[in-house]
Amino acid sequence: MLCGESGCGKTTITKLINGLIPHFTSGENLTGNVCVEGCVVANTQMYELAKVVGSVFQNPKSQFFNLDSDSEISFGLENEEFPPQEIENRVAQIVRELKIEQLQHRNVGEGGSNLSGGEKQRISIARAMLKDAPIVILDEATASIDPENEHLIQQAISELVQGKSIVTIAHRLATIENADQILVIDNGRLSQIGTHVELIKGESAK
């Protein structure tokens, strides 16, 4: 789990993992690589990286492409690996699990302009569930969801992350307490690392 004050670099780290921004621009006195599944992200094709990383961002606007919701959920899956009927059946199952039947077959608009913030996040969660990637990034995944639906979505996320490596950004105490490892970020740098108990006791690495 990543935690720290707003603007400290948490979301930037998740974007580096996704290969969404350049790792290090010229002129910066920085070295190192971001590696995913043993591969250097900077040297990995985006479509290959997308196979192993699923993401649900706080503001997923850039992930919508003016398609109907079913196509948005299944966007990026390769038909030769997943037969169309299998994709269709799985999309229908996920739609039922998330109770988003009202969004099915609806055009989402460019950048999700026809959807509320919560609806965008629910479709993003559905897409991540369908992809079933071994690594899942959750950047405030329920931030825009209304309280009455949040419990339902949390249950869906719990199913999504079973048996996977999770990188999450959240501010809820329960999430922090249950994290296997917490990385405290301060002004773009790793400040502390440890479990919740270790951080409370001051026994974390610095």
Residue 206 within a domain? no
Q: What is the mean pLDDT of the chain?
A: 80
pLDDT-above-90 percentage for the chain: 1
* Closest residue by Cα to residue 179 from 166, 189, 192: 166
**Phi and psi of 17, rounded to 5°?**
-60, -40
Is residue 121 within 8 A of residue 143, CB to CB? The reply is yes
**Phi and psi of 25, rounded to 5°?**
-80, 155
Is residue 52 within 8 A of residue 37, CB to CB? The reply is yes
Residue 181 within a domain? yes
Residues in contact with 79: Cβ distance below 8 Å, sequence separation at least 6, in sequence order: 87
Residue 26 pLDDT: 46
Question: At residue 3, does pLDDT exceed 80?
Answer: yes
Distance CA 11, CA 98 (A): 25
Residue 180 pLDDT: 86
Domain that holds residue 13: 2-201
| Total domains present in the chain | 1
**Which CATH number characterizes residue 185's domain?**
3.40.50.300
Sign of the CA dihedral 185, 186, 187, 188?
A: negative
Band of residue 23 on the pLDDT scale cut at 50, 70, 90: low
Residue 31 within a domain? yes
